Chains A and B, each alone.
Chain A
Amino acid sequence: MSPEPKAPGADLAALRRRLAGTRGRVYWRSLEEVARSPSFLAWLEGEFPGLVGAIDPGLDRRRFLQVMAASFAFAGLAGCGPEPETRYLVPQVEAPEGIVPGVPRHFATATMLDGFAEGVIVKHVDGRPIKIEGNPQHPASLGATSPWGQASILGLYDPDRSQAVIRAGGSSTWERFSSLILERREQWQRDGGKGLRLLTGTMTSPSFAAQIAELRRRYPEARWHQWDAANRDAAQSGAMIAYGRPLDILLDLDKADVILAVESDMLSSAPGHLRYARHFAARRRAAEVGARMSRVYAIESAPTLAGSMADHHFLLRPEEIVMTLFAIAGALHALPDQGYGAAAPPWAAAVARDLQQHRGAALVHVGGDQPAIAHALAHLINDSLAAPGATLRHIDPVALEAGDQLGALTDLVSAMNAGAVDTLFILGANPVFTVPADLGFAEALKRVHISVHLGEYFDETAAACQWHVPETHEYEAWSDARAFDGTATILQPQVRATHSRRSVHEIMGLLLGQLSPDAYQIVRGYWQGEAEKPGEADFASFWTQSVRDGLVAGSSAKPVEATTLPDLGARLRPPLSARSQAPTILFRPDAAVWDGRFANNGWLQEMPRPHTTLTWDNAAIMSPATASRFGLADENVIELRDDQNTLHAPVLVLPGIAPDCVLLPFGEGRSKGGAVGVGVGFDAYLLRRSDGLRQRSGVSLRKIEGKWRLALRQHHQMMAGRPIVRTGDLDSFLRDAEFLHKEEAEERKRHGEVEASLYPRRAYDGNAWAMAISLDSCIGCGACVLACQAENNLAVVGKEEVLRGHEMHWLRVDRYYSGSPDDPETLFQPVPCMHCEDAPCEVVCPVQATVHDSDGLNLMVYNRCVGTRFCSNNCPYKVRRFNFFDFTAKDPRPRESWNPDVTVRARGVMEKCTYCIQRIREAKILADRENRPIREGEVKTACQQACPTEAIVFGDKNDEASAVSKRKASPLDYALLDGLNTRPRTTYAARLYNRNPELAEG
């Protein structure tokens, strides 16, 4: 242990300089004098917490020495900062109580998207967090996770995350930073925080709200702004128009018989989407259990998950969407009809009638990408359908100070340009990348006297700011956040923060004058104040329970009464819009990397985007008709130019985009912020404008030379007439539940196929593991794909290898189109291993590396595999993946984050879905120990657990009461490619359409 504590170099040097030449009693008095300087106090507090209080003016020399001696003695335990000396770890010779090696422990917390919490449970093995699962108690999760939730664990381990405080490009220290802030604080105290600005992403954290309130009390002139590129401004503005105040809507999709989804993000990214998806899917499966199936209409310009699930899907240009809403509102007499119906497509009247007939059980949902007027119209229509209270509820906005993020941001930028911003704190946001190009944020930032960036990565904003402070990951710090319905979660750190990383709360604490802000104290302090019963004992149990459960009981928002403004219908007028020759550009957040924040996450980059199946890129996506109008084809490069910027983008032709629209997903094209994300795709923000956040025109499109290869997961869109995704009509089903197999039986009769085998049938007396996948329910979100990746240590291979057909996903979500390419129906189909009872892969392996076990699982014995790849050739479902290179060794995922229960695969070895056999074994061992059979529901595969819609059900086929047996008993159940007699254990339930007879096949 060093006898002298590490000191902030400059301060100690200054101290030494000032002390040089002095002697005797002066020495101590001088030190005391020096010690009163804020910077010294900051250092002292950082180095020896609690010492500051001990140095009172009356401190004598003896007392000082006592305190210092004690502090020095403990200095080595403080363990902060990079120090050159050797340190020793002490092994757990006697492990702490409760930790059994290899036995996982689970801790609740939350993961966040744009400030909204999704409750999760983090699985720890031997002290390391390794897997994210949904928190079944949490209303925004119900046990499911989003792809982002699954991928968050990789973010935690990302080695590219920023580690050091950086000042103007050079390294610095937290102590120097904090001393600077403490100095500035004196200034703010004098002038009320004039020139102090904060910019964050959307915030829902109650503790942060309290800190902001405190900040404003102390520095009344300070301002706080929020900005998220995919913000929900339009929804709030729509509420302002309709209700005169911002409101959030909660959907009760389980009660909705008829849903009109207007480019709705209710199943993909809207706050609460996991819960909505659960309820939505339950109603889509309803017919199988004798309940009533919902009917879904979708109108959209760009494909959404909800649109793909619709019974009637209408592709419209953005302005047509608004006009159609006017027509529907007019038909419902929600507003004075001024002949809107004539301008709208003919089906609008039928949709309106259907909604009208289901008054009280119908709703309209408008996605966050739609303009405010569409939201206002939706409120109007919902009101006239008596939806509030029946199929939806209103609550006060969950996000803090929700409303006009763009307006606030514009104010900030003009203040910055005017030189009115002295100090700008950018906390957990990346505005240099995400702010619309016309605002010129990066330029304005140069006029700020002191700019500070707190972020997980040294990103574009960090590089443009004078100070960068590394931010803690959401699993590294104490915090809190609210879910879509206001339910608060106290986020507990899953690992200790390292590398002088700080959380938003700690920066706020510093601003508020805390010398060593501690997020734990801040968050706990807030909730202590909030707890209804102030007694310490009660609070302790409240705290323990809330942290343990992952949510604060009873914290959800109470529904509020809201009535649309009386003159609303009369006030709403269709916007004038002339359709120009130039294409309309649609800006939407990328389905995987979102607004760019997840760009450094390899799992998300390699996740096939739901509709495009594109990985490692974004693209200028347009319909076949638009592409042929401009003479474009896949992988062409186009130049998009407005008066300010030019960008080059690859073309991707995709059915299901409105005519003459070009969809540009934003979020890719990062120039800084980690080795994985930089250089992937193009930066669509360059064309985004503050007056055209979601769509704009005035962009010229020109084909240029070159080819931009796109790493698509799927290259063929049609099923080639094969019975792969089977569909039927609800009417046929209700008339004759067996209709699906009648067709099949006739088919078989025609072809003379008989199910026969030379081999005797094997009996599976114990468990017979099986899976059922409901295509009525699968929304194609991709959470299962990432859950599988996380659980089974699947390697990320990168764009080049995806292009070469070497991707490693054990589970894929296939996407097919049917119908016209101009407005097709989209079908999703998750394909894991089928675990065929007569597995074609097994007979062809010369070394018996793939075999059957007594439970009927098709096993892959990695150790035995020599890599002939015959099994993959012979797999009609093509679910096998091969280690063409040593992908595991090249995978950037740190080894400590791997699931220790799953073998990593060597080069030259085949691998595939195992039905998460490690989970089966774990349950089996437990069951054997307790001398009982495995219980129904005890084994959940990773994909099943993550699935928001319960589309995937897994269990024991031998148990007739099991969920999987019930699903398989459904007359809709079918085996994929059953003509091959492979007898798959994974089966599918055909998808039903609940068509409106009025609109049937026109």
Chain B
Amino acid sequence: MTLLADIREAPPVEPGQNLATVSNRVSDIALRMPTPRWWWAGFGASFLLFIILCIAAGNLFVSGIGIWGVNIPVAWGFALANYVWWIGVASGGTIISALFFITRSEWRTAVNRVAETMTLFAAAAAGLMPIFHLGRQGLFYWLFPYPNVMGIWPQFRSPLLWDFFALLCYIIASILFWYIGLLPDWAALRDRAPTRWQQVFYGTLACGWTGAARHWKRFRVVYGIMCAFMAPMVMSVHSIVGLDFAGGLTPGWHSTQFPPYFVFGAVYSGFATVLFLVLPIRRLYRLEAFITEYHINALAKMMLATGLMLTYSYALEAFMPYYSGNPYDVKQIRNDFFDLYALQYWGKILFNVVIPQLLWFPRLRLNEPLLFLVSVGIIFGMWLERYVIVVSSLYQDFMPSAWYFFAGSLWDWLTLAGSIGLFLTGIFIFLRLVPIIAMFEMRELVHREEGAG
């Protein structure tokens, strides 16, 4: 409880904000503010990367996954590492939005829209990866248990199948959650829109929201249910992703700790990504009044907490092989420490364990450039973690005669870069068109704060 007490030291909204300033400040960004130059630069660069993704995918569909570095024995490579990475990033938004809605944590209000949007586009990037990963991409729908004349069903014992279900549900639910949460704000924008096309555009999206009490009542119910649904779902998604690995008998994967291990990692990278986005956004759009140091502090502390959980998993991962004495597992963890992918392994320890310890110090938590760099380090470190898990476990498993190594090809790197392009392109479009702070929730908060004050 000390954590929460600490958060309460700083105000969740800067003093002097009232209901009108909230709506004006936020809706003006979407409706009236001229598109800033940095937006064009950022969007242009992101879109370029997105085009690279299209080219990489095009080549993939024409040539086959042989263009990647995957081989036998390392049959999984970047696509799977990217997938786990992106789905982890996505989780951060859901945790902030849904879990902390349920706990009624008021610090979530200012950042939940950014977090949810991040979830949306990270999930989109994540969703592409398993499809790219397939040898026959066009047949991905065969994982779906649809009735067919041949009476063929998927293999229900396979974790990959459940991963497919979990991912599909998660993406659909994330879209719905994001969209439903936006309904009152769509309507607000519609009502404030100065031009005809904006009225039509936001009006269409608002689906006839009038702010009637009945609307609000239903909205509250649906939103509450969605949150109650999403919070456990995000746990299950990552547990299933963990089971993708734990279900295999490969040394380094075959471990019961994988589901929580992956949840920790996912939430960790999710918080890092939220910080990565929120820190510049609040400065660039001058939203310091709404996204305050209170939020930054809270996010940094959450990040530290999940980072410690992850550290525990890392420790367990290194301890269990020696405890069990299984020679294959011992060889595997020694490989992590000392062999071909040791650089990546120690890189992940550095970025995910060592550097984030700086966040113990309140002053450093509020040092925005430093926090930004730590967050970027964690995002990178989490990618390294997924890379090590996928590759380092596969390249030397049971039969020494089959041992070989993996190195990402040019197309692997382009696909990764392109997926970042897809994510950032989406974020930039969001920044331009969508209210980046949940106005109605913020108004509610301001109202409560006023009442309290």
Contacts and interface: CB of A to CB of B under 8 A. Distances in A.
B72 A846 contact: no
Given A882-B72, A907-B135, A910-B135, A870 B64 contact: no
A873 B403 contact: no
A134 to B, nearest CB: 27
A160 B161 CA distance: 47
B72 A805 contact: yes
A843 B157 contact: yes
Nearest to B406: A805
B331 A847 contact: no
**Which label, helix, strand, loop or mixed, suits the secondary structure of the B interface?**
loop
B293 interface: no
B327 A806 contact: no
Contacts of A882: 72, 75, 135
B249 A874 contact: yes
A846 B158 contact: yes
Interface in B391-421: 394, 396-404
Interface string A819-849: 0000000000101000000001011111110
A831 B399 contact: yes
A845 B143 CA distance: 10
Interface residues of A, number: 56
A740 B133 CA distance: 44
A719 B328 CA distance: 12
Given A801-B66, A866-B143, A719 B400 contact: yes
A844 B247 contact: yes
A1 B156 CA distance: 67
A847 B142 contact: yes
B258 to A, nearest CB: 14
A873 B327 contact: no
Contacts of B160: 844-846, 868, 870
Interface stretch (A77-85, A543-551, A883-891): A883-891
Interface in B131-145: 133-137, 139-140, 142-143
B136 A865 contact: yes
B71 A805 contact: yes
Interface in A686-729: 714-716, 718-722, 724
Q: Find the residue from B74, B135, B153, B154 having the highest chain A CB count within 10 A.
A: B135
Contacts of A807: 72
A804 interface: yes
A8 to B, nearest CB: 49
Contacts of B399: 724, 814, 831, 876-878, 977
B250 interface: yes
Nearest to A751: B325
A866 B73 contact: no
Interface size class of B (residues with CB under 8 A): 35 or more
B76 interface: yes
A846 B154 contact: yes
A872 interface: yes
Nearest to B66: A884
B135 A805 contact: no
Contact of B75 (A866, A869, A907): A869
A812 interface: yes
A867 B66 CA distance: 12
Contacts of B260: none
B72 A806 contact: yes
B72 A716 contact: no
B136 A866 contact: yes
A846 B134 contact: no
Interface in B74-90: 74-76
Given A806-B72, A866-B136, A716 B143 contact: no
B164 interface: yes
Interface string B21-47: 000000000000000000000000000
B139 A886 contact: no
Contacts of A906: 136
A954 interface: no
Interface string B154-183: 110111110010000000000000000000
Contact of A883 (B133, B135, B402): B135
Contacts of A843: 155, 157-158, 247
B65 interface: yes
A907 B64 contact: yes
Nearest to A977: B398
A831 B402 CA distance: 11
B400 A884 contact: no
B76 A722 contact: no
Interface string A922-948: 000000000000000000000000000
B152 interface: yes
A693 B213 CA distance: 100
Interface in B178-212: none
Contacts of A907: 64, 135-136
27 contacts: A716-B401, A721-B327, A722-B327, A724-B400, A751-B325, A801-B66, A804-B69, A814-B399, A816-B400, A816-B401, A831-B399, A847-B143, A866-B136, A866-B139, A866-B140, A866-B142, A867-B135, A869-B135, A872-B75, A873-B248, A876-B249, A876-B398, A878-B73, A882-B72, A885-B64, A886-B64, A908-B137
Given A846-B158, A866-B142, 14 more contacts: A716-B400, A722-B327, A807-B72, A816-B400, A843-B157, A844-B159, A847-B142, A873-B75, A876-B397, A877-B399, A878-B397, A878-B399, A908-B65, A977-B399
Interface of B: 63-66, 69-76, 133-137, 139-140, 142-143, 152-155, 157-161, 164, 244, 247-250, 325, 327, 331, 394, 396-404
